Amino acid sequence: GNSVTQMEGPVTLSEEAFLTINCTYTATGYPSLFWYVQYPGEGLQLLLKATKADDKGSNKGFEATYRKETTSFHLEKGSVQVSDSAVYFCALTGTGRRALTFGSGTRLQVQP
């Protein structure tokens, strides 16, 4: 079956530091890949997505590239801000209308 593995948090960084949150997946076929973000007290929100190999999703300074050869979709940001503090979930979905398969989430704490 499908599965997603994320690095365990919390990840603690200083403001303006470079961020990488690793995500690898196992899936049959050609899944679509997503990163969701959950700010305190709110629901998960779609941050970015990629639907095929070598696609790069980007939003709000975050980027992730769909790497089929390494089955990875690592999240990166060049300069984090305190407002980026949240929990980040990597997820995938197969073809059709199947529900998302999530990773366990990685908490990011950015200190001023």
Partner 1 sequence: GAVVSQHPSRVICKSGTSVKIECRSLDFQATTMFWYRQFPKQSLMLMATSNEGSKATYEQGVEKDKFLINHASLTLSTLTVTSAHPEDSSFYICSARQGSTNEKLFFGSGTQLSVL
Residue 4 or residue 110: which is nearer to partner 1 going by CB?
4
Both tokens of residue 91? 């997820």
100 binds partner 1 (CB under 8 A): yes
Yes or no: say if 23 and 67 are a contact pair by the CB < 8 Å rule: no
Residue type at 104 in one-letter notation: S
Residue in 29, 41, 70, 112 binding partner 1, rule: CB under 8 A:
41
Q: Which is nearer to partner 1, 14 or 26 (CB)?
A: 26
46 binds partner 1 (CB under 8 A): yes
- When asked if residue 89 is in the footprint of partner 1 (CB under 8 A), the reply is yes
Neighbour-count burial of 56, counting CB atoms closer than 10 A to its CB (0-12 exposed, 13-18 middle, 19+ buried): exposed
End-to-end CA distance of the chain: 41
Of the candidate residues 28, 43, 69, 70, the single one contacting partner 1 (CB under 8 A): 43
Taking the complex as a whole, how short is the minimal distance between the CB of residue 100 and partner 1, in angstroms? Answer: 6
> With b meaning 16 or more CB within 10 Å and e meaning fewer, what string describes 34-45?
bbbbbeeeeebe
Q: Residue numbers of the site for partner 1 (CB under 8 A)? A: 4, 8, 32, 34, 36, 38, 41-46, 49, 89, 93, 97, 99-105
